[in-house]
């Protein structure tokens, strides 16, 4: 009789703390953890396995290792970009508007950004609450994805705060129209001022 695999709904990560995971690699491997990268050991688990979780927390605390556990809905998936492009159509032809600076970029120059960053969702109950408030099932939900130019995406990185507000506002059509009108008015005023100063 084959054992049915339980619901692996969470992920445990063990990382270097005051001590290095290198010294504990044999034990971690025997516990089902696999080496990921940069002294990081990962295991998918069933969150109802409270004894295992408690035991690993105590082991990490005793051996001065870093223990992190999160729901896998808050982990970056491999297919979120394809999901975004399937559901979100370009603003004009092959051009998307960056959600942060508002400038148009060709589809080849645009990135897909998580409004609530993956790291914030993993570690913060507040950001997980914001995701639920928006009706998103996880960080890779289409409601948490926006187009961003490479510059804005790298500046935002894993920041929250006003970046999150701007990302969500950009999903409202009226906000986008108002922002584009303000940008157009600004450009017209600059051109007008330049022409007047030449005359």
Query: pLDDT at residue 102 above 80?
Result: yes
pTM of the predicted model as reported, rounded to 2 decimal places: 0.67
pLDDT value at 56 more than 60: yes
Position 73 confidence tier, pLDDT thresholds 50, 70, 90: confident
Which pLDDT value is given to residue 106? 93
- Domains identified in the chain and CATH numbers: 10-74 (3.30.70), 80-193 (no CATH)
pLDDT of residue 2: 44
Q: What pLDDT is recorded for position 6?
A: 56
The percentage of residues in the chain with a pLDDT greater than 70, rounded to a whole number, is 96
> CA 172 to CA 57: how far, in whole Å?
43
* Average pLDDT value for the chain: 86
> Looking at residue 68, what is its pLDDT?
85
Indicate if the pLDDT at residue 5 is higher than 70. Answer: no
d(CA 160, CA 165): 8
CA distances from 57 to 22, 63, 67, 107 (A): 18, 10, 6, 45
Confidence of residue 65 (pLDDT cuts 50, 70, 90): very high
- pLDDT tens per residue, range 124-162: 889 989 989 988 888 899 999 999 999 999 999 888 888
Q: pLDDT at position 26, please?
A: 92
pLDDT score of 123: 81
Q: What is the pLDDT of residues 19-46, one digit of tens each?
A: 999 989 999 999 999 998 778 899 988 8
């Amino acid at each position: 009789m084959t054992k049915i695999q339980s619901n692996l709904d969470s992920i445990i990560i063990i990382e270097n703390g005051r001590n290095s995971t290198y010294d504990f690699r044999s034990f971690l491997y025997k516990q089902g953890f696999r080496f990921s990268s940069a002294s990081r050991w990962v295991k998918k688990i069933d969150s109802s396995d409270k004894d295992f979780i408690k035991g690993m927390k105590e082991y990490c605390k005793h051996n001065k290792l870093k223990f992190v556990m999160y729901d896998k809905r808050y982990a970056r998936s491999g297919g979120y970009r394809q999901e975004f492009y399937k559901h979100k159509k370009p603003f004009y032809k092959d051009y998307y508007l960056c959600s942060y600076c508002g400038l148009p970029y060709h589809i080849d120059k645009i990135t897909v950004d998580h409004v609530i960053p993956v790291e914030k969702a993993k570690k913060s109950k507040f950001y997980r609450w914001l995701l639920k408030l928006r009706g998103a099932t996880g960080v890779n939900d289409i409601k948490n994805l926006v187009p961003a130019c490479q510059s804005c995406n790298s500046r935002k990185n894993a920041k929250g705060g006003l970046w999150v507000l701007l990302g969500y506002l950009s999903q409202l059509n009226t906000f986008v129209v108002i922002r584009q009108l303000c940008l157009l008015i600004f450009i017209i005023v600059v051109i007008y001022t330049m022409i007047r100063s030449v005359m």
